Structure 1
Amino acid sequence: MSGYFKLVDAHDHGYRLKLMAGDGTLVAVSAYFPTKQAAIEGIDVIREIAGTGPVMDHTRKEQASHGHAAREQSTHAVAKPRLSA
């Protein structure tokens, strides 16, 4: 089974999307949507971004500096991951 979106109630009377792997593992949780229709429209936006958007790495890059790990902010684009069929 392929992955899927799960539409769930949010605690403040809105909705969230959960992106699930085919085995039921939670992959990601969306931002809050005030209406069910907005959440459904959010699925289309997520699909578009996931299919075409580059990965932007904003993690800290660790470098050894005098025996200590120095951290620098990394803001470079990462190559688009390839998925096997």
Structure 2
Amino acid sequence: MAGQFEIFTDAESNVRFRLLAADGTVLATSGAFEDKREAANAIMAVRECAGTGLIREVRSNPWTGQRSGRGQGSTAPRRRHLPAV
């Protein structure tokens, strides 16, 4: 059995969705949406890009929340694409 998306209303009355694995494990939870239609549109967008999306590692400094670069003078972001598992 494949995983599934589940649309629900949170404690603040926002509509959200979560992606569940076949065994019911929550794999991802969305941000808040104003209504079910917006959540459904976001699910369609996830379905469309998830199969072809690359994995990118982004490192942050836990003290400042800023992304760390390669070095002091480097302005180019470090990109590392990982194969899908």
What TM-score results when the alignment is normalised by the length of structure 1?
Answer: 0.71
Contact 1:54 1:77 in 2 (8 A): no
> After the TM superposition, which of the residue ranges 42-51 and 21-30 deviates more from structure 2?
42-51
Identity %: 30
Q: How far is the alpha carbon of 1:8 from its aligned partner?
A: 0.7
* Aligned residues of 1:16 and 1:39 also touching (Cα < 8 A): yes
In structure 2, what is the Cα distance between the partners aligned to 1:36 and 1:53? 25
- Give TM-score scaled by structure 2 length: 0.71
Could you list the runs of 5+ residues in structure 1 that have no partner in the other structure? Answer: 61-71
Structure 2, unaligned runs of 5 or more: 61-66, 70-77
Alignment match, 2:64: none
Determine if contact 1:3/1:21 at 8 Å carries over to the other structure: yes
Give the count of matched residue pairs: 71
Preserved CA contact (<8 Å) 1:21 1:27: yes
Q: Following superposition of structure 1 onto structure 2, how do residues 1-85 of structure 1 map, counting pairs within 5 Å? A: 1-59=1-59, 73=68, 75-82=78-85
Over 4 Å off, 4+ runs: none
Distance in structure 2 (CA, Å) of the matches to 1:56 and 1:73:
14
8 Å contact from structure 1 (residues 15, 36) kept in 2: yes
